Amino acid sequence: MATEESEAVFNSYNLNPQLFINEVFNAYDDFDDEAFDYFLQEGPSILGWSEETEKSEELVKAVSAIRDIIQEAVDKQLSAWEIYCLHHCFSVPEGFSLSQTDVTLGNGLLVENFMNDGDLDNQIQSLRDKLILVERESAELQNEIEALEKQDVLYSKFEANLAEVQQQYRDNSSHELSSGVKSAVLILQQKLVEMIDESSVNAGNILDPNHESIPGGNPTFNCNISTVLRNFLE
């Protein structure tokens, strides 16, 4: 099919093969300019020549000549590549007809793709909002965890202090109870001595383990006084 007809088909889909080819040419021209400019700027310093010497001028002429040779060869190759692309890569087959439905469909696809892009942007924004919310909740949970950890440490210290106080209380209570018992024993011993003195009991008989009663004394104390004294004294 003729090039004009192929361009009409591509234009209906908002495509421009010639624009693509021109961009390739421009890209090569930019690369060519940068490369040879670098040679001209850095060549004298690399070779150790002054920019005002005759050798530097000869270098400029040599680089320009090389550039012209390369440019001529590349231009021929690019021209052949352009013709090949237009006649083969971007050529519509013979008999191809572009109906109005196809044009409408093509435009519809473009609109649909644009709308899909908008929907995609909305979905991305929604995901970002959810991510921000999750990050906030995560930060709040982390703060709560840290607060609970601090409370746990304080509670552990409280339990340890309470256990220490209870142990001290038990130790003091046992000591006070032991002191009270000893005091009671001393009082009972004193009372028994007073009772024995009042009953006029012979001390030798009291300490005699074979003596089972107090003769002539109070009948209430008719017991083995020696055994009672030993028990309290122990």
Model pLDDT for residues 184-204, shown as the tens digit of each residue: 667 776 776 666 666 544 444
- How far apart, in whole angstroms, are the C-alpha atoms of residue 38 and residue 65? 15
Does the structure show a pLDDT above 70 at 47? yes
Q: At what angle do helices 225-233 and 100-198 cross, to 10 degrees?
A: 140
Model pLDDT for residues 6-28, shown as the tens digit of each residue: 777 777 777 888 888 999 999 99
- How far apart, in whole angstroms, are the C-alpha atoms of residue 195 and residue 232? 15
Which DSSP string do the residues of 73-85 spell out, in sequence order? HHHHHHHHHHHHI
- Work out the pLDDT band at 43, boundaries 50, 70, 90: confident
- Work out the pLDDT band at 74, boundaries 50, 70, 90: very high
Find out whether 25 and 78 touch, Cβ atoms under 8 Å: yes
Residue 201 has a pLDDT of: 47
